[in-house]
Each structure stands twice: as structure tokens, then as C-alpha cells.
Chain A
């Protein structure tokens, strides 16, 4: 058993931390503006540094460093600015889906450009009637010769204004899901209203509706077989969505802890630092314990994937990591906000910014209850 990061992974961690602290942190106030353009420079830099390609095959421009590397990069970026941690996961989702389950033509067409950050994609799954319950979606695709005609409305789509391709789940029959790659600019594909989730009200994180009105998507844009689109989606959500979501939450928890520990040492109350008050130092100890436990759980789940286990085989570990990391993030943020007193909710300390994303992260790629449902199914069946 070896708990050490490899030298390669440690250098990756140092590089991403440097990138996040030097290039992202100074711009956070600007990113938090409610209006303005999506910060494409982040997407381009992610591509230049090779961070989108961590889980993509070398033959399509990736570097195959693996899922532990994916977790390291996502955690380090989320530690500084959680919304970009979410984008890190988002960039990897479509890249993984296409590079693993796409046709050779799709891989050649999209993956090299996704990896370089020249284009970005998103999973276009959730609808008002269904997210985790993927068979409840109502977007329909009807085959007409060499195209599918798609009609429907998707919601909660991350970076909905900034994506170039949309990996869209559709129904092509009863309990038959088909995944199609829609491209920006296809006639009938329009953007609907912007969602007003608490973490999505900034220019850095536009989230909203994508509407399909008789969008004609070529058959060659289908991922997998017709009617069997669910498998690739579930695997991708498990391997990247859940693991990535857990890494975002872990980065948030870590950042909250660092703020709390620093403040507790600097802020004096009744003539001594907060850190000398037993009640508060025990908070710090508990936060640290929970973060370390969550981190071990997550790194183990990612390591299993790197050992060649399938997302299906690691469902229990992946869901467990996501559950633990989400709970830890929420807990660490709330404790830190309380510890900071009146400063807890000021943007200067950053915790409230991170907390907004933590609240959204809990439900992205499956709520805590969905995680428990999956774990319990693994344990006792049903």
C-alpha cells in the first residue's frame, strides 16, 4: 500500500496550484460579476496546460495521466475558485464521453479540439421532469433518413451560452435512450432562460436552458447504438461526474478549512487567539479529520478507476466519495462562516463564494440520496 503521490502527480499538483493561485485568484472579483462574457481564457489555459486531456487518449491529443490526476487538478482549481472546478469537470465530461464511446470519426473530429480548449462541450441531460431518472426525460428524437429530428427542452445546462457541442440524451422509443451530439449553430437549437441557482449568477458560471425545436442532427453524431445511449452516459457520469463532483467539494472544504485555521490564529478574542479556545480548536480538528477521510475515500475511488476497474465496478466507492466530500464541503463552509462571525459572508474571505458552489455541487451528478441509494443497492441489493 502506498499513499504517496507519484513524482509526476506531485508536480501536476504543484503546477495546478501555481496556475490557480497566480492566474485565477486575482481575477475572482471580475469573474463574480453578474453580467459579462464567459471567461474563455480559463478554457484556453486549461487546454494549453494539458489539464483537459488528463483522461483523454494520447492518440487524440490527451495525455492519459488518469483519474487520480483528474482529481488532483479538479481539487486544486476548486480550492481556489470552485466554479472553475465545476468547469474542469465539465470540460472532461464530454471529452471522456466521446473519446471512450464515440465513433472513430467523432473522436478525430472533436476530442483534439476539446483537449486543446478550442471548443467546449457539455452533457445535456437534465430536464424539468428528469435528471438522475434518465428514463423520465421527454426530449424526443425521430429518425428521418440520415438525420434525427430532435424536440425538447433541457435545463440546468452548465456554460449553456459558452458550449460548442451538446451531448444530448433523447428518447427514441419507450425506455430507449439515444445520445446525440448537437452543435452550436444547428438550426432550431436555441438558448432559453438563464437559471438562477445561487452558484450560477455570475459571468463565470452561466447555467440555463437549451431548447431543441426540430433540430436535425446527423446520424453520424450518435454516440453508441440507437436506444442504448444510457450506458455511456451513466459510465461517464460515474467516472467523471461523480469523481469530479467529489473533487470540487473536496477543494471547497480544503479552502474553507484554510481560511478558518488562518483566521483562528490571527483573530483575538478576550486577549487570546480564537485558536486557543477549545471549542473552536476542536472544530478545526474535526474539519481536518473529515477532510482527510473524504480525501482518502476519493483518491481510493479514483485509484480504482486507474487500476482498470469500470465505473460500474466502483459505483459504491465513487458514490461514497461524492457523498463524503459533499457533506464535508457543506460542513466546513458552514463552520468557517460561523467561526468568521460577521466576516463569514463577505466575499473578501472567499468562503461564501465557495459555499455557493458547494450548495449546487451537492446535487450535480446525483444528490446525496441518489448516492446512498446506489451504495445501499450494492450492499443489500434491490
Chain B
């Protein structure tokens, strides 16, 4: 089974409180915030590795980002993927979700015949959940989001459990398919010391726009139909009112207020 897992480097959610917004420039300030693999992408890698262990084959991890994004690919190699590819080119900068999906699709096509593409359901920073479905469209394969379980019936047919708000949906699908997975799908493995050491010795292929035959109008800012017009910090003001009187009076006032607000 030939599996590709798409992964992304994001700011560490543990440090999100330190991220600030420059209101005049409309930019996010993330200096000094450590970077980690997008948390759901670790589950995507784990699912890919488990399926390879079950059916044999190959798992390739692909990430698009600046040179330091190779760190998440090193982690993927340490966890056990067979190959790692970094899509790195200044021409990719400023990409929205579609202009991210294009290079990923180009890279996956270059990898040959693929049975399964796995992504995290969304990234912890952008949180759009769009790259996976857009990538599937570009690859012309079906996709299923919010995947919490994968069960194979034979080698090409699988039943996928999809988490819904008030329940779940089971869908039967044939390979090839793209799955966007949620946290509950598995417990991801930790890399071993030997895995880490081997990862340091493995090659991470770096592909630029020309390597995947991406045209300039499909990538980077030019290839991004969406434009961020403004970034601002949402202020939440709480209403405050101090009640006065005896405890009984204040209790009555509280009950009246709650009625007024429709709570009671």
C-alpha cells in the first residue's frame, strides 16, 4: 500500500497565549514561539504507519514550509516513515489553502500511484480544514473528513467512521481515497532513540516549484484566491452589575434578571 501523509509545522499550542497581533500592520507576531508538528498530523502519521504495518508498503511524509519545517519531517522519519519530502520555495510563500493544496497535489502525483492520502482534519493555527478536501479534488479522488476509525474489508475496500456532532456516520469507500483524521483515531507512538538516530541519517528530499511543475498562478500569493484583509484581537467585555440590598432582595433581583434574560 502506497500511503502519503501530509504534515504541517505550526506554532506550539502550549504557547498560543504568547502570540500577539500588530494592529497597525495587521500581522501575527510569533517570534520566540516554538514550532511543533500540527497535533492532528501526528495521528495522521500514526494511522499511515499502522496501515503499512498491516498491509506492508510505503509511507511518505510531505510538508510544505520554510527550511525549518524539515524538523517535522525528521520527527516523521523518527516515527518510522520511509521517505520525507519538503516542499520549500520562496514562490510558495503567502499561500492560502488552495495554493497549499496545489503544490501538495503536484508532489503526490510525482510520487507515483498512491492508494491513500492521510491528513490531520485541520491545522491548529489556520483551523480551516480546507487543505485536505481541496487536495482530494485536485487529485480527483474522494475524501472523508472527521475520520475516527478505519476498517479494511479486503485490501481495497474500507469502512470509515466519521464523527458527527451528535453521532457518527459509517461510510464504505474504495481506494484511492483521502482521509482527514481526528484525535480519537489512535494513540500516536513516540519515536524511539534508535528511530531518532536513524532519522538523522536519512535524506529529506527538498522540492521547489519547478520540481513539481507548479505554475506561478497556482502557488503562493498569486495562486491564492482568498485574501486576509484584516487581523484583529477580539475583545470580549462582560456585563457587570452589582446588586444591593438584603440577601433575600438580591436573590429576588437575581431571579428577575435571569427571567429577563430568558435563562429561567
Q: A65: CB under 8 A from chain B?
A: yes
CB-CB under 8 A from B200, the residues of chain A are 7-8
Known: A63-B197, A65-B197. A11 touches B75 (CB 8 A): yes
CA–CA, A50 and B199, complex, Å: 15
CA–CA, A15 and B71, complex, Å: 13
Among residues 138 to 196 in chain B, which have CB atoms less than 8 Å away from a CB atom of chain A?
Answer: 190-194, 196
CB-CB under 8 A from A277, the residues of chain B are none
Pairwise interchain contact B192-A49, C-beta atoms closer than 8 A = yes
- Chain B contributes a number of interface residues (CB within 8 A of A) equal to 13
CB-CB under 8 A from A53, the residues of chain B are 193
Q: B88: CB under 8 A from chain A?
A: no
CB-CB under 8 A from B71, the residues of chain A are 7
How near does chain B come to A18, taking the closest CB pair, in angstroms? 6
CA–CA, A11 and B78, complex, Å: 9
CA–CA, A50 and B196, complex, Å: 10
The 8 Å CB contact of B74, one of A11, A19, A48, is A11
Q: A210: CB under 8 A from chain B?
A: no
How near does chain A come to B9, taking the closest CB pair, in angstroms? 13
Question: Interface residues of B: mostly helix, strand, loop or mixed?
Answer: helix
Among residues 1 to 41 in chain A, which have CB atoms less than 8 Å away from a CB atom of chain B?
Answer: 7-8, 11-12, 15, 18-19
Binary contact readout A47-76 vs B (1 if CB under 8 angstroms, 0 otherwise): 011110110000000010100010000000
Pairwise interchain contact B197-A19, C-beta atoms closer than 8 A = no
CB-CB under 8 A from A65, the residues of chain B are 193, 197
Binary contact readout A104-133 vs B (1 if CB under 8 angstroms, 0 otherwise): 000000000000000000000000000000
CA–CA, A8 and B74, complex, Å: 10
Pairwise interchain contact B193-A12, C-beta atoms closer than 8 A = yes
Pairwise interchain contact A15-B191, C-beta atoms closer than 8 A = yes
Pairwise interchain contact A12-B196, C-beta atoms closer than 8 A = yes
Binary contact readout B51-83 vs A (1 if CB under 8 angstroms, 0 otherwise): 000000000000000000001001100100000
CA–CA, A7 and B75, complex, Å: 11
For A51, give the chain B residue with the smallest CB separation: B193
Pairwise interchain contact B190-A19, C-beta atoms closer than 8 A = yes
CA–CA, A287 and B71, complex, Å: 32
CB-CB under 8 A from A54, the residues of chain B are 193
CA–CA, A1 and B196, complex, Å: 25
For A23, give the chain B residue with the smallest CB separation: B190
CA–CA, A8 and B71, complex, Å: 11
How near does chain A come to B181, taking the closest CB pair, in angstroms? 19
For A9, give the chain B residue with the smallest CB separation: B196
Pairwise interchain contact B197-A15, C-beta atoms closer than 8 A = no
The 8 Å CB contact of B190, one of A8, A15, A63, A69, is A15
CA–CA, A12 and B74, complex, Å: 12
CA–CA, A69 and B192, complex, Å: 13
How near does chain B come to A246, taking the closest CB pair, in angstroms? 21
Pairwise interchain contact B190-A18, C-beta atoms closer than 8 A = yes
CA–CA, A119 and B74, complex, Å: 32
The 8 Å CB contact of B191, one of A7, A11, A63, A69, is A11
How near does chain A come to B203, taking the closest CB pair, in angstroms? 15
Known: A7-B200, A8-B200, A11-B199. A50 touches B194 (CB 8 A): yes
CB-CB under 8 A from A8, the residues of chain B are 196-197, 200
A→B interface (CB under 8 Å): 7-8, 11-12, 15, 18-19, 48-51, 53-54, 63, 65, 69
Q: List 10 A-B contacts (CB under 8 A).
A: A7-B74, A7-B200, A11-B74, A11-B75, A15-B193, A18-B190, A48-B192, A50-B193, A51-B193, A54-B193
- The 5 lowest CB-CB distance pairs between A and B, nearest first, are A50-B193, A50-B192, A11-B196, A63-B193, A49-B192
A12-B193, A65-B197 are known; give 18 further A-B pairs, CB within 8 A: A7-B71, A8-B197, A8-B200, A11-B75, A11-B199, A12-B196, A15-B190, A15-B191, A18-B190, A49-B190, A49-B192, A49-B193, A50-B192, A50-B194, A53-B193, A54-B193, A63-B197, A69-B193
